[in-house]
Structures are given as C-alpha cells and as structure tokens.
Amino acid sequence: MMLEVRGIDTFHGETQALFGVSLSVGAGEVLALLGANGAGKTTLIRSVLGLTRPRRGEIRFRDKVITTWETHDIARAGVGWVPDDRRLCPTLTVAKNLALGTKATAYRSWSVAEVTEVFTALKYLMARDAETLSGGEMQMVAIGRALLGSPGLVLFDEPSQGLAPKIVSDVMAVIRRLKAEGIASVVVEQNADVALSVADRAVILSRGHVVWQGDARELAADHALKQSLLGGL
Ligand code: ATP
C-alpha cells in the first residue's frame, strides 16, 4: 500500500473533525474523497501531511508509520500536495514558483517541459509574477510545483474548483498520466462527477465519518446510490 490511514481521530482545538477514519490507496490508484462542505476532507489531507495531527490512529506511507513525522520529512518521503488555496509565492515568477517545488525523493521528478506539455498555457507565463495569474493558471502552477517535487502520492484538494472545463480536463489528464506511471492520487472534490471520472475507488465522508467506500464506477453508474449518499453534489 502507498497510503494507509487507520482509525484516525483528528481535532481542531476541542472540536472533533474526524472520527475513526480509515482508508487506503495503492500504487497507481486514484481515490476520490467526497463529501459535503465541512465533512472533513481537508482535515484528512492535513492529517496525512502532519499539519493537523491526529490524536488517535495511525498513518502509514509505504509501510512506514509517519503519524508523528514533520511535514517536510513527509514531503521528502514522496507525498505531494496541491492545496485548495494554491499557496503560490505571489511576487515570484511562475518559473521560480515551479522551481521551489523541486526535490529529490525515491520517485521520478517531472521536468518543467513535461509540465508545460500538459499545461501548454504555462509555457508563455514563465516570467510572469504569480500574483498576476488567473485562478486557473495558478492551479496549473500549483500542480506543476507538486509534480516537480517527485511525488509517489499526490493529495489534490478541490482541483477543479473555479476552473474552466478545459482546464479541469487537463487536470484530469495529469491524474491519469500519474496513474499510468504508478503514482497514487487522492482527489478531494465537491464535484463528485469530476472526481469519479478518474477514480478507481471512492470514499465518502459525512460529518467526519466514512459512510461509504467502494468502486468509483459503481458509484458513478448508480444514480440512486449517488443521490442518497451525496445529495446534490
Ligand atoms: P470544505 O469543502 O468546506 O473544505 P471539508 O470536507 O474539507 O470541507 P474540513 O475543512 O476538513 O471539511 O472541516 C471539517 C470540520 O472541521 C468542519 O466542521 C470545520 O468547521 C472544522 N474545522 C476545519 N478547520 C478548522 C479550524 N482551523 N478550526 C476549527 N474548526 C475547523
């Protein structure tokens, strides 16, 4: 297994956000992590990254227990992150923002040329300061930065949020390409249909509990099941 989360309880102050959450992702597998606003999806990602530590339970990355590791050590082990708020350095150029992601891990790094092959618009924006980019362009840089960090697993937090359909399909193409390379992805989405279009399996969170997990195609094809679990999402 690439990632195994076992029975984690995570709190924000005294408020419990995750209750005994377990899930796993294998090499080259894409897991859709779905659920309404406030269900705990971002908290799960923050728990894996060591940003909000679980009080109970265990997290393993490639069979190593990383529950108490520092965030930079988790990143160096090969866990990549595409945060929902992108977190670019606004006054640095696109080229410098991409370079900031570069690191060596046990996995292969994408090159800048490979990133611009998928996100062609970035090729012409390298010298622009990040703060002048559109939301979609910023998202491409955030994804490119994660790929230059040689991840074995990428955690995508709401990658389609606010993006034009063409960019959403480019992002999904990246996820498919990672899968072909044996890289695992966790795709947190409010938009279930987008995530299910690339996912192998899905986990649905509701108020911090896993309420369903199973085959993504089965969920995508079963309108009644999707409706009962996800309502209008
Ligand atoms: P969204 O799509 O809105 O980001 P989510 O599924 O990612 O939703 P989380 O952001 O993980 O959900 O939030 C889970 C719960 O934890 C919510 O009840 C939220 O209000 C609470 N929470 C999240 N961050 C904090 C924080 N920094 N301090 C206090 N409570 C928080």
152 close to 107: Cβ distance less than 8 angstroms: yes
Specify the residue with its C-alpha closest to ligand 1, atom 24. Answer: 12
Mean pLDDT of the chain: 94
Whether residue 232 is predicted with pLDDT greater than 80 in this model: the reply is no
In a domain? residue 223: yes
Which pLDDT belongs to residue 226? 87
pLDDT band at 233 (very low <50, low <70, confident <90, very high): low
Q: What is the CATH number for 110?
A: 3.40.50.300
211 touches 20 (CB < 8 A): no
Classified as helix, coil or strand, 123 is helix
- Assigned domain for 168 exists: yes
Q: Do the domain assignments include residue 19?
A: no
The atom of ligand 1 lying closest to the CA of 42 is 7
Q: Which domain holds residue 110?
A: 26-42+76-232
C-alpha span between 103 and 228 (Å, rounded): 43
Assigned domain for 192 exists: yes
- Residue 50: Cβ within 10 Å count: 20
Supply the pTM of this predicted model: 0.95
What is the rounded distance in angstroms from the CA atom of residue 171 to the CA atom of residue 187?
11
pLDDT of residue 191: 87
Q: Band the pLDDT of 23: cuts 50, 70, 90.
A: very high
Amino acid 182 reads G
Q: Quote the tokens at residue 172.
A: 């999904």
Cβ of residue 12 lying under 6 Å from some atom of ligand 1: yes
Amino acid 20 reads G
Residue with CA nearest ligand 1 atom 22: 12
Q: Is residue 58 part of a domain?
A: no
- CA 37 to centroid of ligand 1, rounded, Å: 8
Position 68 in a domain: no
Ligand 1 pocket test, candidate residues 11, 14, 43, 85, most atoms within 8 A of CB = 43
How many domains in the chain?
A: 1
Give the Å distance between the CA of 206 and the centre of ligand 1: 12
219 located within any domain = yes
State the Cα–Cα distance between residues 159 and 84, nearest whole angstrom: 7
Predicted confidence at residue 190, as pLDDT, reads 85
CA distance 226 to 218: 9
Pocket flag, ligand 1, residue 41 (CB < 6 Å): yes
Name the CA dihedral angle for 130, 132, 135, 140, rounded to a multiple of 10 degrees. Answer: -40
- Answer yes or no: is 122 within a domain: yes
| 38 Cβ inside 6 Å of ligand 1 | yes
Residue 214's identity, in one-letter code, is G
